[in-house]
Structure 1
Amino acid sequence: MKSWLICIDDTDDIATKGTGEIAEEIANLLAQAHLKTKANSDRCWVTRHQLFVHPDIPYTSHNSAMCFRIETHLSVETIKQICVTHLLSESAAAADPGLAILDMTSMYDINALIAFGQSAKVAVKTKQQAYELAAELGIDLTEHGGTGQGVIGALAGLGLRLSGQDGRVKGQLDLGNYAAGVAAELSVADILSMSSLQAVLSDNGDILAIDERVLLSGKVKAVYRQHMFALLVSQHESGWVNASKQTLKAY
């Protein structure tokens, strides 16, 4: 089997299905095709990558790309067909969808791809720049409606995911009996055992010991940092709390 990294951008419009939801649906469709079944219970982590917000860049609300990784025996042709069919079916009429597919076993310049992604967080990039880099690195980059501006974010999202230091996981963590809005204190060991997370990290990057305790409140979200899916926490008085909405904005 091969490992693939897939990213989409600019598929939605106000009051339509979000790009993150479409990415999850594509990931599930690919998993179903791989397993030849109509049901798939495995969690595929879709990460949201924030890009540059600027008047010269059209976006719906936040200008973010959505990326996921999948391991499959499916050919690139089949993978692309499934992705494109769903994009054409589910993208908003006013959207400018872009799709990037990377064979992670190929010989590509990871540093160049990461640099493009990081640059797209702070500067306006062009479709020409995206297509030139994709051609140079052997990445399948295509547009599927509108202006096709989404190819920029799709390529950038690949680089940001590969950096291992960027991305907020779509959705809210399911941590057993914890319910959003009702504060609860859990140990790091409990948090890891009740989720698929790999670590609990402080906002300065330290890995918390398994006996540390975290006070959870509000929506609990994971991030992708240090090449791990992790719960991000902040120091509050004498203990730890899950990162605030403001802190997570950087992801």
Structure 2
Amino acid sequence: MAIYRIAIGTVGEASHPSALRAALAEFFSMLIFVFAGQGSGMAFNKLVTGHDSAGQSADGLIIAALSHGFALIVAVSVGANISGGHVNPAVTFGAFLGGNISLMRSFPYWIAQLLGSTVACMLLKHATGMETPAFSLSSGVSTSNALVFEIVMTFGLVYTVYATAVDPKRSNVGVVAPIAIGLIVTANILVGGVFDGASMNPAVSFGPAMVSWSWDNHWVYWVGPMTGAAVAALVYDNLFIDDLHEPLATNDF
């Protein structure tokens, strides 16, 4: 089982220069991702209705899917050589469960990801004068429905991350990892966006909720993605990564 490779790490690991550089890279990647993704939805609403919010539409859903997908391809690419390009607390959690990052090194990632999303939403609010809408459930969608969506969609995302970026056997597939990751997010938004916004990313949900101070059903956007990430990491690591695979050495941190 992959669980035996989990590493807690040392307290000093979190403040090591390499960990701080990686966290900074995650901050900027998340800022780029949320600013473009969240901002595109706000711009579409302004263009179509002339005010801050609009009902869901097919055009809006496609624009949201494409903007988030394209932005994530860039965000993962620019952070890949420094932090691994997680750009998602759920991805970091999945990497931790697979023994690919220690718990202590994960904390700076999580903090940076949440801060990056929040700063992006603050900049959008200041620049546009509009509210940054928080993720919410559509009419008729229960929290249990949304949980299933978030679990399954995040499973697909983290499974893709493992197959294209984490697996030691990935070979040349790793070159297209950012594209594959961006495309699965695009596809998932087209599936779940009309039901619960298709977050798949606790930080992406946290920033708008913090800036707009709207926390209704916010827990769904943490429990669902973290659960989906955990299942994907354990399934892929246990079934498809050889026992010879070793986690990152502590001194590499």
Give the TM interval when normalised to the shorter protein.
under 0.3
- The structure whose residues are more often helix, as a share, is 2
- The structure whose residues are more often strand, as a share, is 1
Larger radius of gyration: 1
**Per chain length, whose mean CA-contact separation is higher, i.e. which structure has more relative contact order (CA < 8 Å, sep 6+)?**
2
* TM superposition score normalised by structure 1: 0.21
* TM superposition score normalised by structure 2: 0.21
